[in-house]
A and B are shown apart, each in its own frame.
Chain A
Amino acid sequence: MSLFARNRKLASFVLFILGTQAAIAQTPPAAAPALDEPELVEFDTSKTRSIAVPALVAPAPTDTAAGNSLALGRQIAEVISSDLRASGVFETQGPNGLRAITLPEVATPQFDYWKSRPVEQLVQGFVRVGGDGNLTVGCYLYDVGFGNETTRLGFNVPPREWRRAAHKCADAIYSRLTGELPFFDSRIAYIAESGPKNKRIKRLAIMDSDGANHRFITNGQSTALTPRFSPNYKSILYLSYVDGSPRIYVYDIDAGRQRLITQSTSPTFAPRWSPDGQTILYSMAVSGNTDVYKIAASGNGTPVKLTSSPGIDVGGSFSPDGRQIVFESDRSGSQQVYVMNADGSNQRRISFGSGRYATPEWSPRADLIAFTRIAGDFRVGTMRPDGSGERLLTDSWQDEAPTWAPNGRVIQFFRTAKGSGKTSIWQVDLTGSNERQLPTPIDGSDPAWGPVLP
């Protein structure tokens, strides 16, 4: 997808065009990549770019439900700066330590000043409170060296969603400067853990991609495992022991209700959504033998059994076009990764390295499959859908269960500590660089990253 089309997609969140220049609909001043061609901008994390993010200007400071707009201007800059820094691609300055800018400067930066800091890129913006109480957030990206504007976006949000405006701004900047698709404005479902190793309390929880807006969904009375956000974020598939045995439920976030995905009395686990949210993939053990099934997400359909080997066939992940499924099976004698068509036909093994291969997850970009490799320690890695190009990204005692950022450039997983069994959520980029822990209130496991919000 071209940057042009990408920015238009971002604009679904944008309710207006800033200033006199219809930035979104016009070609940016800097050299833009040709449509539908390989990106001109190389994703190169070895070369970090310096970027300054002074506090957004609040021309008329006004109280809102989320605080005064003057404070929000600084907080939004902090989130933009934090997102960009966490991506590993940027060295950020500000808003702390940077001088306050004036409203006229937002559209007319003092390039000489910023050149002298020195800094390569500059993000400026403003926050206004409208008559309806909503925030208007303006977000401008400047190339300091060239002295020109490269991106300009505006967002209209209720005050409580100010972080989303910040993430959208950071996403636009990240996309413009790296040529990659956005990913900051997205959410994560995971399992919050506490308690001793043999009596672990495991609760379903959700949070923004940066750990903010954290919320527990279940109270921990019954063990919850392996959540997956639906593509529209309206519901969550997860495993619960609420009735004594492992079963998959669909939890409706707004209604606060859940239902079983199938009425079978057999244990069901390892739930996954198809990319269009219409189908649920799951594993079910019948008389001890586990196979992979799919069923309509509406709950009205009949389950379709996709595998039938006498071994354990489990898990699975749809390709982004929904036509194939990657899953794991021990039919060869040990856990390995297999690919099949979505109807179960043409099952073939793709992992042939040393050790066992588990928890395959197809990248939203379709080009790679992430997995857990078990060879003594557990490491997270990627391979192409034909099994070639294997690359290990982490090296720890037990790293497990990769989940993809919506842009397919960052992978999240959970790490278990030897002995204590304590867990934490980490992320790493595709080069194996920029590994960092995600902040969670208590221990965390089984992360599942959702798509970019519309």
Chain B
Amino acid sequence: MKTNTIKMAAILLVSTALVAGCGKKTVEVLPPAAEGTDYGQTPTAPIAPTSQIVPGSQEDFLQQVGQFGDRILFETDRFNVDAEDQAVLQRQAQWLAQYPGTRAIVEGHADERGTRDYNLALGERRANSAKNYLTSIGVDASRIQTVSYGKERPSALGSDEQSWAQNRRAVTVTVR
């Protein structure tokens, strides 16, 4: 368990660096590089040549589900999975079906405009919404863990509606 946790943490760091703070629901209204977000870390090209990506790895998962395909976004205080989210989670489920030896951790997050304890509860609710949908379409529940970070780990760093929209998220991170 301890080793797994450390491994997960390492993967998590990589995934945070790889993915942009951008989200599908707001993508139309977002400027290409808003000040104060972590866009600077976003690679403009694939991280590594396709040939080097190990099948079944987190890198493989990110490539297969597409940009921002590892996350679903939520409205303020909401935790429902809408049709757009379902499409994202279906691609994740397909990948998980392809690699039955893998597991997933769904991280639930909230924006900074909530109180700390409530946001921990809200993040947990969001992570569970994603997990519940994944299990409803066939992913074994025992393969999915959830963890809430509340408002502790924002993806976008601004104090504005666009950043908050990107931070209200549930992100799937795979573990081998």
Contacts and interface: CB of A to CB of B under 8 A. Distances in A.
Contacts of A196: 157
Contacts of A416: 112
A314 B125 CA distance: 13
Interface string A197-219: 11110100000000000000000
B154 A314 contact: no
A416 B174 CA distance: 33
A388 interface: no
Contacts, number: 106
B118 A358 contact: yes
A359 B115 contact: yes
Contacts of A290: 121, 124-125
A400 interface: yes
Contacts of A110: none
Contact of A312 (B8, B112, B122): B122
Interface string A385-403: 0000000000001101100
A446 B116 contact: yes
B95 to A, nearest CB: 23
Contact of A400 (B116, B120, B155): B116
A344 interface: no
B120 A270 contact: yes
A438 interface: no
Contact of B115 (A267, A400, A421): A400
A186 to B, nearest CB: 23
Contacts of B114: 358, 374
Contact of B159 (A199, A372, A400, A419): A419
Q: Which of B154, B157, B159 has the most CB of A within 10 A?
A: B159
A245 interface: yes
B118 A335 contact: yes
Contacts of A315: 117-118
Interface stretch (A42-50, A52-60, A130-138, A281-289): A281-289
Contacts of B136: none
Interface string B64-76: 0000000000000
A330 B9 CA distance: 32
B157 A226 contact: no
A287 B128 contact: yes
Nearest to A271: B117
B158 A269 contact: no
Given A267-B147, A330-B77, A288 B128 contact: yes
B120 A372 contact: no
A346 B112 CA distance: 33
A285 B115 contact: no
B148 interface: yes
Contacts of A199: 153
A226 B117 CA distance: 8
B113 interface: yes
A255 B69 CA distance: 47
B147 A269 contact: no
B94 interface: no
B147 A244 contact: yes
Q: Which 5 A-B pairs have the closest CB atoms?
A: A288-B128, A290-B121, A270-B117, A285-B124, A244-B5
5 contacts: A246-B148, A288-B146, A334-B77, A400-B115, A419-B158
Given A198-B153, A374-B113, A419-B159, 14 more contacts: A197-B154, A243-B1, A243-B2, A245-B148, A246-B150, A267-B120, A285-B148, A288-B79, A288-B124, A334-B77, A359-B115, A359-B117, A401-B115, A419-B158
